[in-house]
Amino acid sequence: MLSPDPADPAGHAPSDSFVAPPAPVTAPAQPGRRVPAVAIAVALVAVLAGSALFGAGWLLGSRQAATPGTPAGDEAVFAPFWSAYHFVVDNYAGGAIDKKVLVDGAIKGLITALDDPYSSYMTSEEFQQSLQGINGEFEGIGAEIATKDAKGVDADCTPLGPDCRLTIVSPIQGSPAEKAGLEPADVITAVNGQSVDGQTLDQVRDEIRGPKGSTVTVTVDRAGSKPLDIEITRDVIHQQEVITKDLAGGAVGYIRVTGFSDTSASGFADALKRDVGNGEKAIVLDLRGNPGGFVTAARSIASQFIASGPIYWQQDAHGSKLEVDAEPNGAATDSSIKLAVLIDKGSASASEIVAAALQETGRATLVGETSYGKGTVQQWHDLQDGNGGFRLTVARWLTPKQNWINGKGITPDVPVTVPANTPAGSDPVLDKAVELLSGDTGALDRAA
């Protein structure tokens, strides 16, 4: 997707759940004061004192006008900012000043100064696109893209260029991209006539996306063909976040989850109930390449296999911890239903919440590669009135045993490395999982 998500490393879009913003705090009103009259004998003193009080009040009022909204204890900290702001507004001679633009720039600088890859300022359009993405739909062409190295091997690389190529993984079924003729393995070289070299995956993705009904021209290199300019009319894309099939002659159910929205959580529950209802006693949950999404969806999906106890812990900025327990009535909490979870370096955030919960509770065997390692939760804050918004890291999430996997990832129980020369269509990680589930099931018990 917690997507990735948007100021994230190329090839990932981790992004996480919404957290209710704190209520605004309003300072209490100060009661008025009444100064009693004084005797004529001390009138001069009173006048002088009054003038001194007036002067002090004028200075205080002047300072507050110059630093509006600044708490008294933070005046020294904010003084350079307000000094710069007023100097720019009063003295800039390069043209008219749009104060809104200055404020937007200040907010962007504030978030950027945190040096947090998951906190970022967004324009109004970027903010809405970001929300659409983690809600399971967006406006664009409908194609899954990824970065590959010069040899055509998946790689987390940036910027784009000869050694880092932006490739179509697959068009979404029924999407404008599929209808226009984009094919898997097409290499995107330009968007609307502008080369993608030097840009990041996220930057190009944002250029390709756009309002429903608008058009975009994508230039692609295709094996055995000259460069092709393909014009595509954008539309609302509903992401297929839950993909199912039967394996091993119907003995193993396979469910792939590509994102964590409310829709994916309910879709996953329906798919799992069908598999269990059909008598399948082995399930593969594929979280590879899943960048995350809502933590609420992660909780719901993990709860399908875990009957009780913590799914994860959430720790706020003040160090307080909240235990988030399993939801009741999961479809596959019976331990006789074997479970293998597939992860890789693209499994991030909400994917890791699920994988860690299933691993630490002994409910599943993890197969594949070490996961991405994103252990934080972001809040989306709308500045309203067309002023854009920002997302901010507001909490850490911890595993059921209160481990923080940030920057480390989750190590699989059964590591499987995919060779660079793996033939197209083969899947050593999935093959290993099916082998464990349908063959030596004792290996699953030992791994748990």
Question: Could you confirm whether 374 is annotated as catalytic?
Answer: yes
Catalytic residue among 338, 345, 374, 432: 374
What radius of gyration do the chain's Cα atoms show? Answer: 28
Among 297, 202, 284, CA closest to 241: 297
* DSSP state letter for 305: T
Active site residue 225: no
CA dihedral for 261, 203, 389, 80, sign (positive or negative): positive
The one catalytic residue in 139, 352, 360, 369 is: 360
CA dist 51 to 38, 40, 65, 300, Å? 15, 17, 20, 68
Rounded to whole angstroms, the Cα distance separating 169 from 231 reads 18
Is residue 360 annotated as part of the catalytic site, yes or no?
A: yes
Verify cis geometry, omega within 30 degrees of 0, for the bond prior to 291: no
Closest to 413 in 3D by CA, of 332, 309, 312, 340: 340
Candidate list 120, 349, 351, 371, residue with the active-site label:
349
Angle of CA points 51, 53, 57, to nearest 5°: 115
- The DSSP symbol for 319 reads S
Distance separating alpha carbons of residues 369 and 416, to the nearest angstrom: 6
Question: What amino acid positions are annotated as catalytic residues?
Answer: 349, 360, 374
